[in-house]
Structure 1
Amino acid sequence: MNHDVNLLNHSAIDRKGARCAAMSLLGFILAIVTASLANAQGFVDKNGQSVFGDQATEYERIPLESLPKPPANLARLIKNGEVRLVTGGEAQISPSDIPSGQRLMGETRFHINYQFKSESRWSQTALQRARGEWTITVRFRKLDLTVDHEVWLKSPPSTKTFWENSVVKHEFDHVRLSADPRIRQVFFDQTKPIKRFTVRLDQVADARNQIDRAKVQALVREKLRQAAEQTKDFVQIRYQELDRITAHGIRALPEDSTLFKEVPN
């Protein structure tokens, strides 16, 4: 089974009237002062069934081959986080979520893909029989999680100075948080209660009042979706903390900050 979870949009915006600088001879202009918003977009499975929220609108890809070689730390992030650079189309964030007097400059679109194969068994004690309950035991023959990203830029900066651009740097700070390989362990920790849980018979019963295997599978699938959502919440808290302590990218990260402690570069 394959699920794609559209976890989070992180958006960079700049204040109208902020000091601006020409970033290339072609006339691309981006504000030096930037800010950002976080916006949970929801879950969409790979078969196209929307659970809530929408996928990204159409965009134009920015080929990495058209840019200078990125710094080593960003090159690793691009590879490990499966980062795509895009422009064009519309931002996913709702216009109503952009603070008055600010304009959108970029978004980081964060997706989780989790795959699983499972086998379920059920058992019942005498006490559970009296209560109309069953214990479901789940064995995962496969359980994995990967992350990919889209960094959307409203007005791509100069090719020559692309990797030094403040908006690009700020978005990759967010990528660094959500591409942290330890996010997989957060997800695995959230799935531990799924391996053995108790249900009422009426939650999984068929017309004959016997356990329906398909209903058990649907219940396991829903619990995995909830585990992915809890993982999203964990990442979103870290995204919000980064924006809080940097004023959405305006200030440098304090040297004594522990936000990126032990997060691989």
Structure 2
Amino acid sequence: MPMGNVRTEGEARRQQLLVLSERLGVTFHDIALLDQALTHTSYANESKRNTAHNERLEFLGDAVLELASSTYLYEHFPEMPEGELTKTRASIVCSTTLAKLATGLHLGDYLLLGRGEEMGGGRTRQTNLEDVFEAVIGAVYLDQGWEAAQAYVVRQLRGEFENAEHGAILKDYKTILQEIVFRKEGQSIAYELVSESGPDHAKEFTFRVRVTGKVMGEGTGHSKKEAEQHAARRALEKIAPHTQKKR
């Protein structure tokens, strides 16, 4: 059951956050940082008090996440060239993966949301989940320092790193789809924009892919390229599910 519909004052909210921190495997010195990481801008805007939201922590957490994941890949994949390191990191820290991890940690249940955002399904919205995942990393970094934050990131991404070690990194799904579809003459692939939302600094695009006129997949991402890749992946799950077995 969602725990963040209305801010629970004092000890009750603190107990909620302690439960979450135990799930995260982090003992916070300043539990207020975790509270801030879970505070959406919509809640802060509707609050009558001067309430800090999580956007700055998200910004910081994004940087920590990139450095921690880059360091891990650099150390554990000594033979991998720069271009492949970049692709592998992008596959691991993509929006879909971060939202999935946030869901597994039940971060959405603890989010503080404004009424409109709550009614609009903000608790399970991919962008909110991705953002809160990064904001929590920022909170861990400020509270515990670099080494603890790095360890936290590696712990949360362990499964993704293991996938990379076994070769199950993000493939160029558009290329794979094209190779499969074009094995038969007369087939075509077309990507079309379904929707575009969000402010300029946090755009979210949704694309669908048609194979010979039939809609076969739909995907969302922070860039058109990412959205198209996710749409292609959905199509591959229908057309050639064996290409997805490692994921």
One fold, TM greater than 0.5?
no
Q: Which has the larger radius of gyration?
A: 1
Question: Relative contact order: is structure 1 or structure 2 higher (C-alpha 8 Å, sep ≥ 6)?
Answer: 1
Q: What TM-score results when the alignment is normalised by the length of structure 1?
A: 0.29
Higher-strand-fraction structure: 1
Higher-helix-fraction structure: 2
